[in-house]
Structure 1
Amino acid sequence: MSNLNMNPVKSKTTKEIVYDEIKNAIFNGNIKGDEVITETILAQSLNTSRTPVREAVGDLLKDGLLVSVPRKGLKVREITPSEKDQIIFLRISIETEGLKRIIPVIKPSHIQYLNDLIEMQKEAMEKNDRIEFIELDQKFHRKILFFAEQHLLGDILLNLYNLTRLIGHQALAKKGRMEEVIVEHSQIVEALQIMDELQATKLMEQHLLQTKESIEIVEGN
């Protein structure tokens, strides 16, 4: 039998399952921003022992999704208005530059891949699966940098991954935001397809600023 040089399928450990469950609960809002939780509460909710919970919590603290509250427990990390402004500023700077760099090397296969992601986002929207929708959203933005071969910029964006997911989920709480994102992504791809750098960068900046505005609308309600 030939060696296909493939990695074996690995089953998730209990810690990894617990990590995913807590992370999803953070992103979908099941753990509220002002709610103090403990490892004991999490273990009881997940019907598991405290050991995998403690290990998963350690990773979530490192990832910046949870913070310790002295003598009380844990809370979801709050992103300050200043941090939100900085994240949007960084993303506009990084992603508009990525669009400028992808124009000279854009391929039909790149356009097809991005359009396929948009179609998958439509399916996630129909299922009202906000977690899957955000995963696809993040992939859409990172792939533009990947296709442009801007790997260092992509690494910076990846380092912001969890924080951008947190604010992304906040933005999706605005009614109709999923539909808006799909339209905005489609317009960006259309500009890339005709190699219109000015329009593509303008649309990306508007798209990211619209995310910020959506969060402000949600927080104001």
Structure 2
Amino acid sequence: MSISLNVNPIKPQTTKEIVYDEIKNAIFNGNIKKDEIITEMILAHSLNISRTPVREAVGDLLKDGLLVAVPRKGLKVREITPSEKDQIIFLRVSIETEGLRRVIPSITANQIQFLKEVIEQQKKAMEKNDRIKFIELDQKFHRKILYFAEQHLLEDILLNLYNLTRLIGHKALAKNGRMEEVLEEHLRIVEALELKDVKQATELMEEHLVQTKESIDIVEGK
């Protein structure tokens, strides 16, 4: 008897996808320094692989804004300028506080529980010092609020900022104790959602996002 389930088959990663993930993780972990010039040849040698998948992966990383080309030299990790950092925080505060205003009247107990489970997964990632997983879950937490609010255009805008916000997030986590602070800030936002307190929830979200910027300033000695 054949049973057909409405699920998507698991596709094995291509070599290009594996290379893409390896380079991306090296960027986010700080293993490629911001002032370091790299080339496809250097990457291929480091990964012990041919240049073809490296070239394809680099093309995607350039398109995603994680790498930038340095004329006649090679490639380097994208740096977020102070102006860009301010713009990203401004957009996120505007988008995510609106998401909270929209979601509070209709948020369900199941949705609250989902957000709590994401925070619990973040705690486990913190205990393993897995910054990449922690940031992935952080983005999941924020995007789900917009999804629950059915603010899909705003969610798409946040998704377009995804890689830039990850670069910011990883830099912020370099501040000692920032992971613990993020968990506490997320929990307080969820508590305000449970109370359906729009004023408190939006103020906490703004404080949370501004604190990310301030954490980066501390790390950068500003």
Normalising to structure 1: TM-score of the pair? 0.99
Equivalent-residue separation in structure 2 for 1:23 and 1:93 (angstroms): 28
Distance (Å, rounded) in 2 between the aligned partners of 1:100 and 1:148: 9
Structure 2 match to 1:101: 102
Q: Which amino acid is 2:98 matched to?
A: E
- Correspondence list, 1:118-157, <5 A: 118-157=119-158
Q: Equivalent residue for 1:32?
A: 33
Q: Measure how far apart 1:174 and its partner are.
A: 0.2
Aligned to 2:116: 115
Shift of residue 8, structure 1, vs aligned partner: 1.6
Report the Cα offset of residue 80 of structure 1: 0.3
- Partner residue, 1:61: 62
Alpha-carbon separation, structure 2, partners of 1:127 and 1:148: 32
Q: 1:74 aligns to what SS in structure 2?
A: strand
- Distance (Å, rounded) in 2 between the aligned partners of 1:8 and 1:147: 27
Matched, 1:51 2:52: yes
Separation of aligned partners in 1, 2:7 and 2:101: 36
2:179 is the counterpart of 1:178: yes
Q: Which amino acid aligns with 1:203?
A: L
* Percent pairwise identity: 79
What TM-score, normalized to structure 2? 0.98
Q: Which residue identity lines up with residue 63 of structure 2 in the other structure? A: K
- What is the distance in 1 between the residues matched to 2:6 and 2:180? 41
Q: Report what 1:14 is aligned to.
A: 15
Instruction: Name the SS of the counterpart of 2:9 in structure 1.
Output: coil
Q: CA deviation at 1:51?
A: 0.2
Q: Deviations over 1:105-126 (max 9, x none)?
A: 1000011000000000000000
Q: Quote the residue 1:201 is aligned against.
A: 202
Structure 2: any 5+ residue segments left out of the alignment? none
> d(CA) in 2 for partners of 1:44 and 1:181?
37
Could you say what secondary structure the match of 2:104 adopts?
A: helix
CA–CA separation in structure 2 for the residues paired with 1:24 and 1:89: 26
Long gaps (5+) in structure 1: none
Structure 1 consecutive aligned stretches of length 4 or more whose deviation exceeds 6 Å? none
- Render the CA deviation track for 1:28-71: whole Å, top value 9, x for unaligned: 10001000000011001111000000000000000000000011
* Separation (CA, whole Å) in 2 of partners of 1:5 and 1:80: 45
The Cα shift of 1:5 comes to 2.7
Look up the SS of the partner of 1:105 in the other structure: coil
| Distance apart, 1:6 and its partner CA | 2.2
Instruction: Indicate the SS of the match to 1:75.
Output: strand
Partners of 1:2 and 1:210 lie apart in 2 by 51
* Deviation at residue 4 of structure 1 after TM alignment: 1.2
SS at match of 2:46: helix
- Offset at residue 2 of structure 1 (A): 2.5
For this pair of structures, how many residues does the alignment match?
Answer: 221
